[in-house]
Amino acid sequence: MPATRPTAAVVGIGLVAGLFSALFGVGGGLIVVPLLMLVLGFSPRLAAGTSLAAIGITSLFGALTFGVLGNVEWLPAAKVGLPAMAGTLVGIQLQQRLSARRLSVVFAAFLVVIAVRLLLE
């Protein structure tokens, strides 16, 4: 990041991302990427990469906080997290070959199904 970029804006984005992350149990990349692009003029690529690194730190704070509060269940975390580590390596390979556009429509439909199930719970 060039020195001319306002650090205050980055701190502001961090505060919002942390709130979002801890409230929803997600990394926060969903809002960090667009904010880095809109507020600081990052390219989509730089925003995505920087976001991944930042949400690693954010998730660590969240995990520690909820861990101390006794809300983390470690075995289930391993059950989804370990296969996800293998999955992300596959995803990185696949991104070169598949149409993300087509996949994003399937992904969106899947999210709607999950949302309906959660609302009916």
Partner 1 sequence: MIEILEAVGLGFAAGVLSGMFGVGGGILFVPTLSLVLGLTQLHAQATSLVAIIPVVAIGAWRQARHGNVSVRAAVVLGLSSAGGVAGGAALATTLPEDVLRTLFAVLLLAVAARLLLDARRDPARVDGDRVEL
* 39 in contact with partner 1 (CB under 8 A): no
CA quadruple 27, 88, 94, 112: dihedral positive or negative? negative
Closest to partner 1 by CB, 38 vs 112, is 112
In angstroms, the CA 41 to CA 1 distance is: 11
The reply on whether position 4 binds partner 1 by CB under 8 A is no
Out of 4, 39, 41, 95, name the contact with partner 1 by CB under 8 A. 95
Give, as ranges, the residues between 6 and 35 that touch partner 1 (CB under 8 A). 7, 10-30, 32-33
Determine which helix (DSSP H) or strand (DSSP E) holds 5, and give its type and residue range. Answer: none
d(CA 112, CA 106): 10
Q: Does 74 bind partner 1 (CB under 8 A)?
A: yes
Q: What token pair was written down for 33?
A: 């990427």
Q: Which of 4, 38, 39, 100 binds partner 1 (CB under 8 A)?
A: 100
Q: To 5 degrees, how large is the angle CA 90–CA 95–CA 100?
A: 125
Query: In angstroms, what is the minimal distance from the CB of 80 to partner 1?
Result: 4
